Amino acid sequence: MRNPTIRDVAREAGVGIGTVSRVLSGSPLVAETTRAHVWDVARRLAYHPSSAARALPRGRSHVLEIIVPLFTRFFSIEVIRGIEEALARSDYSLVIRSVEDPGERNRVFREARRPGQVDGGLLVSLTPTRPLVAHFRTAGLPLVLIDVEYSTLPSVTVDHEAAARLAVQHLIGLGHERIALVGRAEDPFTLDVPDARQRGYLAALQEAGIQPRPEYQRTTDYSPEAGNAAMERLLALKRPPTAVFCASDAQALGVLEAARRRGRLVPEDVAVVGYNDVEVAQYLGLTTVRIPMRAMGQRGAELLLRTLEEPERPPDHIRLAAELVVRRTSGSLPGQRNQRSAAQDIA
Amino acid sequence: MRNPTIRDVAREAGVGIGTVSRVLSGSPLVAETTRAHVWDVARRLAYHPSSAARALPRGRSHVLEIIVPLFTRFFSIEVIRGIEEALARSDYSLVIRSVEDPGERNRVFREARRPGQVDGGLLVSLTPTRPLVAHFRTAGLPLVLIDVEYSTLPSVTVDHEAAARLAVQHLIGLGHERIALVGRAEDPFTLDVPDARQRGYLAALQEAGIQPRPEYQRTTDYSPEAGNAAMERLLALKRPPTAVFCASDAQALGVLEAARRRGRLVPEDVAVVGYNDVEVAQYLGLTTVRIPMRAMGQRGAELLLRTLEEPERPPDHIRLAAELVVRRTSGSLPGQRNQRSAAQDIA
DNA sequence: TTGTAGGCGTTATCAG
DNA sequence: CTGATAACGCCTACAA
């Protein structure tokens, strides 16, 4: 009934518990025959070491903590999934902590598990506070950042500025000059001002010698509703833009909807480019910038694992590339019959 | 540098470790003054008990395990989120295990944490196997099911049959008689044959005295692409349906797209109803059945917590109500401008 | 190469 | 009410 302990295995195998322990932890100081025998017995008894008991003398829990904002957001989910994939074969468990609103952030940071509870942390899209960094440092626990940079900590990021520039360059390449930005409102979770996507947008315009216009730049939060409202404003201008670059696919959805309601054809009257490449983007034919979310999670987890093995290793700063995915809403190549997207007819 | 241990607190407070332990666990057998003093010292030293050390004599880890299929699916995410909300104030941690394909299921079940690793489990949309149930039973660990029923285990479910009937009744109420079903293919994760939604569909037709037609019933998996293909087939019939009920919003998306491509107006030529009420449904104006996913998670977690405190408690079987959300794709009532009309309760 | 013993931080029991 | 002290299951010197 009770789980077998290491002692049971030792007795059953006729060896000392030290030997069993060595076999299980793969120590080379065991005779080959002994090892085989012990393994046999352990398997037969269905022995599984208690992680709590193991954590005690080792001083390590084999648990990793990840702190992520807005758990239900597609971006977060994908990153988490990537982390899980990387951790799957590593016998580390993952504890996920979600920060649902900015006020919660400091509380969660403060409650970040004490050493012994957790062996390391992963911070996603969240700028670390000084105390948090100090906490992990003095505790000797590795902390890895995803989608955020910090000089002394390992990180995995995407160059959002370059990604945004890519998108806007694409629009310029199609001949657009009146290009609007539906950017994001100040992100309450990170401190990245001005926003990287906006910087990329401006850079692309400048490269092409296009004068940016303030009335073409709107910032809203990441929702279809907000995108919708922003687009309404843009379309109400005397010279409305012929193309719109959105800081998220969610906003782009709203932009498409507004265009439809105002009778504008996409991409004939107005081209739309989103950001992230969420699932529905492909389905709606939305041209967008693909952010390698899952890969970000994977690489971050790998970085953490590596730092765990080699604590003194200087922090890596990995930067992944985003790619532009051209679909129908930006009216790619001439001669290609553009389908109107589903979103437009439904509503 | 090292974390303070209970011994440090005891020494600093000038008491025995037993007393500190009692104070911290809220035992009433401590003098009020002693208690206050010990708390003070503990706070001052920033003492945090080691969960590993605590787990050892207690035989409980304070970790709960949740096994969920297809982690990235909206349904799973929402349920998990509900669970987290319920657990947030309970100092239990959550370890999430995802089953990404049916082959993985048994492996994950087999690896279900041994007692001592975990204090209980939550199974989402996954029919438990005999061995799994036995495993938890003999280990004396509570296991709660979400979105699945099993006589001897507590569960939280939604009556999918009633929910589906509701949707189809709505269509019938609008005057439709040629109503198609885009159902789900056999679910590799659960064993629910015939599918509850299909049963509900058939029941609603029968109640209304409508003869079900085999050619109106298509089963596909939960993807827009599959829904799209199914709709193409339906539209190719000599007498195509005037309404389609889909077993998921994902399929409904594809159905809408197919209708658009074939030049059918929604809802004038064909009405469409989805299932789940995913985020984008509201945005696309999709009439659908709202499944209380988050609430399912919450209630499930609460059930688990309760069983943890009271192990002998007979299993509760909680059944939550789904509601119909009428939006544009079913063309509600003439003149009625409401996006969401009165939600109707079921069950 | 292997067995033994001490210790990891708590809880729980049992005398005081 | 409170303070020792024996587990809890495992790891790791250390001794053999």
Strand D, nucleotides < 7 Å from a protein CB: these are 1-5, 7-14
pLDDT reported for residue A10: 92
Residue (of A142, A133, A127, A252) closest to A186 by Cα position: A127
Cα dihedral A252, A253, A256, A258 in deg (nearest 10) = -100
| pLDDT interval class at A181 (50, 70, 90) | very high
pLDDT at residue A114 greater than cutoff 80? no
Provide the 8-state DSSP code for A272: E
pLDDT reported for residue A339: 41
List for chain A the helix, strand, coil content (%; round to 5): 45, 15, 40
The answer to whether A149 faces chain B, any CB pair under 8 Å, is no
Q: Token digits for A13? A: 């195998």
Å between B196 CA and nearest CA of chain A: 27
pLDDT at residue A346 greater than cutoff 70? no
pLDDT tens digits for range A157-166: 999 999 999 9
Q: Token digits for A333? A: 């190549």
Q: What percent of chain A is predicted at pLDDT more than 70?
A: 93
Å between B267 CA and nearest CA of chain A: 9
Chains A & B: contacts with CB separation below 8 Å:
105
Task: Say which residues have a Cβ less than 8 Å from residue A101's Cβ, sequence separation at least 6.
Answer: A188
pLDDT reported for residue B115: 65
Question: Is B72 in Cβ contact with A81 (below 8 Å)?
Answer: yes
Cα–Cα–Cα angle for B142, B85, B279, rounded to 5 degrees: 115
Å between A209 CA and nearest CA of chain B: 37
pLDDT reported for residue A120: 93
Question: Is A78 in Cβ contact with B3 (below 8 Å)?
Answer: no
The answer to whether B255 faces chain A, any CB pair under 8 Å, is no
| pLDDT interval class at B343 (50, 70, 90) | very low
- Give CA separation, B266 vs A166, A255, B329, B330, in Å: 37, 21, 6, 8
Region at B206 (left for phi over 0; alpha for psi -120 to 50; beta for the rest): alpha
- Give CA separation, B338 vs A253, A258, B167, B253, B275, in Å: 21, 19, 18, 21, 20
Residue (of A54, A7, A9) closest to A34 by Cα position: A9
Mean pLDDT computed over every residue of chain A: 88
pLDDT at residue A193 greater than cutoff 70? no
Nearest to B285 among A53, A254, A346 (CB): A346
Q: In chain A, which residue's Cα lies nearest the Cα of B60? A: A52
| pLDDT interval class at B347 (50, 70, 90) | very low
Is cis: bond before B267, omega within 30 of 0? Answer: yes
The answer to whether A133 faces chain B, any CB pair under 8 Å, is no
Burial class (CB in 10 A: 0-12, 13-18, 19+), B154: buried
pLDDT at residue B337 greater than cutoff 50? no
Average pLDDT over residues B188-211: 88
Mean pLDDT computed over every residue of chain B: 88
Helix, strand or coil, per DSSP, at residue A110: helix
A328 within 8 A of A287, measured Cβ to Cβ:
yes
pTM: 0.89
B77 within 8 A of A77, measured Cβ to Cβ:
yes
Q: Which residue has the higher pLDDT, A234 or B185?
A: A234
Question: Is A253 in Cβ contact with B116 (below 8 Å)?
Answer: no
pLDDT at residue A113 greater than cutoff 80? no
Q: Is the dihedral of CA B16, B20, B22, B23 positive or negative?
A: positive
Nearest to B284 among A63, A339, A347 (CB): A347
| Full set of structural domains in chain B with CATH | 6-55 (1.10.260.40), 63-157+293-319 (3.40.50.2300), 160-291+323-340 (3.40.50.2300)
Nearest to A50 among B3, B116, B138 (CB): B116
- Give the DSSP letter string of A68-100: EESTTSHHHHHHHHHHHHHHHTTT-EEEEEEE-
pLDDT reported for residue A108: 85
C-alpha span between A83 and A78 (Å, rounded): 9
Å between B81 CA and nearest CA of chain A: 7
pLDDT tens digits for range A274-331: 999 998 888 888 999 999 999 999 999 999 999 998 888 899 999 999 999 999 999 7
Region at B158 (left for phi over 0; alpha for psi -120 to 50; beta for the rest): beta
pLDDT tens digits for range B225-262: 899 999 999 999 999 999 999 999 999 999 998 998 89
Cβ contact B51 with chain C strand, < 7 A: no
Q: In chain B, which residue's Cα lies nearest the Cα of A258? A: B283
